[in-house]
Chain A
């Protein structure tokens, strides 16, 4: 069976249609690689693990931010349209420039271990005798599943409207992963407040597109908003 796939070309500034033979179980990335290997080897497309683990191959597939390597062709009816994520500057074809996300990540106050733990023993084995139970770590572990694929940033209207005034869901998840680490000692509430977390109006678009199935809005953004408000009330 053949399927039609349309890929964005920055040279032609439009979608270009190709016809690709389909086998059972193929994903969108397989079809894109087929085009690359048979029709135009210079098409710019980014991927690495092709297993849904590295988060390199995000794109808008029929308008929905998705990983190309995890989107099965048989999950889509009709033609397939692949465009680069719109919230980032375009480099060429399907490749976007995510450099800004590094600047944001650098600005998030890093994990700092509680000094009481370190003070007991100054060497590397300082954490050897600490006791942490599973219920202490599961909350942060959810956010640590984030593969930083940028899809949630692309889905977020608050990011699109407010641009650099809001750091976006991916970075709130990162911040929450540090905040909810039981060994951490930093208060990041002021940081999140300044970085526009209030612009999020909890429509949960980010949660819907997350390939790591993190409940971004319910478990990261809303609790962080509440913590900020608590601080203000006190």
Chain B
């Protein structure tokens, strides 16, 4: 029986996502006088930010006193393969120190240097020791202190609720419709502005470090209302994910291990990074290290379970347990490996999406009036490759900015047309109920797995195989074909049960979103006929100056259309940056 029950809410600013960006935005918008409501798919405090391990990049120079914002700028821009938005990067590197001190004032306690200052660690692509950290659980600390700020302000949080549609009237955002897990009832939220802070889409891939909820829903919501999505082909593979046992394949092994002195070895015991990057070795940027590891595995220099070795044992048990306690536990609990004595097996894992919603660099407003975005969901800042530690700075800096500017926009605005929101609500009730039905099909293959999970697996498998770390035209076109098949087949799928806390139904809603985002990623990857940063084409292995531009995806007349935007010339005052080289 269909569930048509719904409730209505009214707020000024609706924030979708309760990770670092969403919570930081909420604090700022609330303090500016707006009524704020946060919606989150997971429970409050469980967002993917808690998985961030290594630290937050800020040139506070507490460890290496030569560091300053210019070096941080240069590192970020160069390692992003010159594709990053210089204006965003300038804001990032200049504001990062303030956000670190602010965390301290919210109650965060960073690890300390022997001189009583904030401890900073080395990380791939950063010239100096720059990552302020709390052991290997920096993200958890950030979430907790932000959560305290949000709770004590009395900001409304609707956790375990998925937003399935944004409502637009006369070209501006007027609200959103969603489904509450615990009751199974629908919700219509009337608002003046929306901040999308729903994170990335790593779950598009089978091998990923991302949490269950990182399915790119926010990207699909933005695309649906006509937002431009940029650099969608830029998917970051973190060099080191676990490979064994299967149960934890893809789980992140923090870059902090290499930052603290861990080395990579192939099955011959060779420290192979000296062939790929003689100067920076294990601490080159993530795209370089990930491709090196991938190449070693392809060449047959891999380990028993298809990875390479990562070794930190030479640093001694006391050091490892103090600096990398979570990693010590992770390998001991899941893989029966004692990293103070034994080598780890690691291989690249999908970790981050540099692409995303196109936003204005100052305000983080999208091209849809009243729609803002912050955090991993946005694109532009990290260019073609993100440096470790820059995303924790990103979420705080631009979460705050989205909060400020959305409040400025919303505070003097009338609530939008509620009839249109109600019509959208009715459409969504109909759409989501239509997924439910008896006679849920199980597949003849795959040990009788339900169809919905089989289709979801098929998408993640083809993304792994053909849209992975090394791409080519054949593979990408094949991925498009598989995508079309899944799109056709999903129409016949029915889910058993009701709208109440139904994992199958949620998988269905998420898969619809994932199909949209997968298409944007594949088509952009086909379009970019060069290799730059995280995007590597075996049929176009070189970088070309003519491709120093952004590929933009946008919905036009119900279909995906692609175009490129000319590159923003970087002003003369940044002449300290080394010039881009083409071979």
Contact = CB atoms under 8 A, between A and B. Distances in A.
Interface of A: 21, 23-27, 30, 36-38, 40-56, 70, 72, 91-93, 95, 97-98, 102, 105-106, 110-111, 113, 118, 124-128, 131-134, 136-137, 140-141, 144-145, 147-148, 178, 181-184, 213
A4 B313 CA distance: 39
A201 to B, nearest CB: 28
27 contacts: A21-B447, A23-B245, A23-B246, A23-B247, A25-B244, A25-B246, A25-B247, A36-B503, A36-B504, A38-B448, A40-B496, A41-B452, A41-B495, A42-B495, A42-B497, A48-B42, A48-B46, A48-B211, A51-B251, A51-B252, A56-B43, A92-B500, A93-B501, A128-B101, A137-B109, A144-B134, A213-B329
Secondary structure at chain A's binding surface: helix, strand, loop or mixed?
loop
Interface of B: 42-48, 50-51, 60, 97-98, 101-102, 104-107, 109-112, 114-117, 134-135, 137, 140-141, 144-145, 148-149, 151-152, 154, 157, 182, 211-213, 244-248, 251-252, 326, 329-330, 333-335, 440, 442, 447-450, 452-453, 495-498, 500-505, 507
Given A37-B453, A110-B152, A56 B42 contact: yes
B502 A44 contact: yes
B98 A125 contact: yes
Contacts of B333: 52, 70, 72
A72 to B, nearest CB: 8
A178 B502 contact: no
Given A127-B104, A133-B116, A140-B109, 10 more contacts: A24-B245, A45-B503, A48-B212, A51-B251, A52-B330, A106-B151, A111-B107, A127-B105, A137-B109, A144-B141
Contacts of B101: 124-128
A177 B110 CA distance: 13
A148 B504 contact: no
A49 B500 contact: no
Contacts of B497: 41-42
B243 to A, nearest CB: 11
A184 B447 CA distance: 57
B212 A141 contact: no
B450 A30 contact: no
Contacts of A54: 42, 46-47, 50-51, 211
A147 B134 CA distance: 14
A144 B329 contact: no
Contacts of B252: 51
A49 B104 CA distance: 26
A110 B244 CA distance: 42
A182 to B, nearest CB: 8
A26 B248 CA distance: 9
